Amino acid sequence: MATKINLIFDGKVFLPEDPVEFKPNTHVMATIEQIDTARNKKDSFIHTAMNIKLEGPEDWSERLEEYLYGTSDNAS
């Protein structure tokens, strides 16, 4: 069984970035490949939102309830 695990080297040992499902003292074999961390860096929400280039009415923030649910916040 092969499992891909991203690791971080702390100067002494390799540590998994996420929890692993191995029992303690399980023997494994690893092949180490250095990755470009800039490519794997998670983007912020603002960066993502700005890059998806959403199009819509200019008054989205003012009429959000109406656009989402078909009703207005001010409906009686």
Mean predicted lDDT score pLDDT of the chain: 81
Strands 14-16 and 7-9, bridge-based pairing:
antiparallel
Amino acid residing at 19: P
| CB-side neighbour CA atoms (13 Å) of 2 | 3
pTM of the model: 0.42
Q: Please, which pLDDT band fits residue 47 given cuts at 50, 70 and 90?
A: confident
Which tens digits make up the pLDDT trace of 6-41?
899 999 999 998 998 889 999 999 888 888 766 556
- Report the 3 state secondary structure along 14-67: EEECCCCCCCCCCCCCCCCCCCCHHHHCCCCHHHHHHHCCCCCCCCCCCCHHHH
H or E segment and range at residue 9: strand 7-9
